[in-house]
C-alpha cells in the first residue's frame, strides 16, 4: 500500500531540529503507519545555518533544500503543511505558534 505524504514544516535546526528530522525519516521502520512523514521546509533565524542544515540532512532529499526560507512569515505563506513542529526553546514557542496559526489556522 502506498503511504500518503504527511508534509511537515519545522522551526529550528539545532539539536532538537536534527532529532526530529531523524525521527521523521525513521518512524516507518518501527511503526506501521498510513502516512510517510516528509520534512518540506524549515524556518530559522539564520538562513545560512538553515541552508547548511538542509545540505547536510540527506534524510529528506529533494524536499528540504528547495523549500528553505529565511523567516517565519515567508515560510508559512504558500506552503502546504499537515503538521508544524516548533523545536525552539520554550520561551520562543508562543511567538512561532502565533505565526503558524495566523497563517494556517486549520493546523
Tens digit of each residue's pLDDT (9 = 90 or more) over 42-90: 777 777 777 778 777 766 655 554 445 445 555 555 667 788 888 877 7
- If one counts every other C-beta atom within 10 angstroms of the C-beta of residue 15, the result is 9
In the predicted model, what is the mean pLDDT of residues 90-97?
72
- Distance between CA 70 and CA 20 in Å, rounded? 20
C-alpha cell at position 96: 512561532
CA 34 from chain center: how many Å?
Answer: 19
pLDDT of residue 82: 83
pTM, to two decimals: 0.74
Helices first, then strands: H and E counts in the chain: 5, 3
Q: Provide the H-helix boundaries in 1-107.
A: 15-30, 47-56, 64-67, 72-76, 90-103
Amino acid at each position: 500500500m502506498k503511504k500518503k505524504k504527511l508534509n511537515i514544516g519545522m522551526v529550528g535546526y539545532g539539536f532538537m531540529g536534527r532529532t526530529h528530522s531523524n525521527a521523521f525519516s525513521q518512524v516507518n521502520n518501527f511503526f506501521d503507519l498510513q502516512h510517510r512523514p516528509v520534512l518540506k521546509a524549515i524556518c530559522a533565524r539564520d538562513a545560512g545555518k538553515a541552508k547548511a542544515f538542509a545540505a547536510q540532512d540527506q534524510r529528506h532529499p529533494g524536499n528540504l533544500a528547495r523549500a528553505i526560507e529565511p523567516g517565519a512569515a515567508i515560510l508559512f505563506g504558500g506552503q502546504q503543511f499537515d503538521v508544524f513542529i516548533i523545536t525552539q526553546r520554550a520561551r520562543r514557542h508562543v511567538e512561532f505558534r502565533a505565526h503558524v496559526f495566523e497563517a494556517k489556522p486549520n493546523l
